[in-house]
Amino acid sequence: MVELWNNYIWPFAWIVLLVLAIVVPLLLAVAYLTLLERRVMGFMQMRWGANVVGPFGLLQPLADGAKLFLKETIIPTGANRVVFVIAPMLTFILAFIAWAVIPFDDGLVLSDINVGVLYLFAISSLGVYGIVMAGWASNSRYAFLGALRSAAQMVSYEVSIGFVMVTVLVVVGSLNLTDIVMAQKEGMWFFIPLFPMFVIFFISALAETNRHPFDLPEAEAELVAGYQVEYSSMTFALFFLGEYANMILMSGITTILFLGGWLPPFDIAPFNWLPGPLWFFLKVLFLLFVFIWVRATLPRYRYDQLMRLGWKVFLPLSLFWVVVTSAVVVAFDLFPAK
């Protein structure tokens, strides 16, 4: 009995606790990201945004959540019921399981695996299924068109994201996310030497999360919200939460790959007083602000322009930069010794 407790039940309970310690703050962050978006966009467009429920509108996310929770879940008659219900769950779960490998500080990570970057890439490449399944199962033309657009868009931009990750790998010499951050401690943050890749990665992240200016899968002007048009109540809420959790995730990945993760900008007195996770949080917050800023500023791309940007601009550019980076690393013998 004691053995059972020590070997199985206690480790299992400990892992569940750790998972909750990541997921609960994340859910809160997602809820308040929606408020942040409405407030920040409000100020950018010279209006107030949500400021009525609670002080500064701070209770608005809770009110929204309660409202969605109490609504009726409608499943259309012609829909494929099982796939229709699985799709939002899939989106939601995939947005959260990627956090298992994200390091918040040196050693503060749920699962420190050797192939962390590949894991993140694999999870983000699965994200398309939630949307495609939703679009197909809804049995509606708008939803279906949105799903087709989304599938093409996400596959296109994954290619350049992959090449950006390869560049970082060539510089670091490891697929482990903690190693990637530690490599930036000795040198400089990677957004300085790899600046073009940083820009490409961030723009591809916008496309990968279906955010403005690449939100063609939703495109309310032409597709009346695309793949999620038939969804209501909590099924809709899961899509919504998944999308915002994906934004936070992409900001987190950008922070780790290019902005030095939990490291302070300078390792001197006033900066290194703040703990690492706080620096991580601040950097992610900055990137999320840029996400919102872009949404408030730019008009939506046309579909053929989106495809052109992905295949004819980003793909050759990132491929070229992989070759250049490798050449520099070999020529100056910079490859990290293992």
Where does this chain bind other proteins (CB under 8 A)? 8, 80, 83, 113-115, 118-119, 121-122, 125-126, 128-129, 132-133, 136, 144, 147-148, 151-152, 154-155, 158, 175, 304-305, 308, 338
Structure tokens at 27: 């859910």
In the complex, minimum distance from the CB of residue 135 to other proteins, in angstroms, rounded to a whole number: 8
Cα–Cα distance list, 149 to 172, 242, 266, 311 (Å) = 35, 18, 43, 15
Cβ distance to other proteins smaller for residue 95 or 287 = 95
Q: Which is nearer to other proteins, 49 or 310 (CB)?
A: 310
For other proteins, the closer of residues 82 and 290 by Cβ is 82
Q: Quick one: 158 or 230, whose CB is closer to other proteins?
A: 158
Q: Which is nearer to other proteins, 147 or 248 (CB)?
A: 147
Considering the complex, what minimum distance in angstroms separates the CB of residue 279 from other proteins?
28
Q: Which residue has the tokens 């703050």?
A: 25
Q: Smallest gap, in angstroms, from Cβ of residue 132 to other proteins?
A: 6
**Residue 138 in tokens:** 């809804």
The structure tokens listed for 296 are 């408030």
Nearer to other proteins, 82 or 188 (CB): 82
Q: In the chain, where do the E strands start and end? A: none
Residue 283 CA to residue 305 CA, distance in Å, equals: 30
Name the residue among 6, 1, 4, 334 with its Cα closest to residue 170.
Answer: 334
Shortest approach of other proteins to residue 195 CB, angstroms? 23
Pick the closer one to other proteins by CB: 142 or 291: 142
SS3 label, residue 193: coil
Nearest approach, Cβ of 159 to other proteins (angstroms)? 9
Maximum C-alpha span of the chain: 65
Q: For the CB of residue 210, give the shortest distance to other proteins in the complex, in Å.
A: 15
CB of 174 to other proteins, least distance (A): 9
DSSP readout, 226-291?
GGGTT--HHHHHHHHHHHHHHHHHHHHHHHHHHS-TT--SSSSHHHHTS-HHHHHHHHHHHHHHHH
**105 three-class SS:** strand
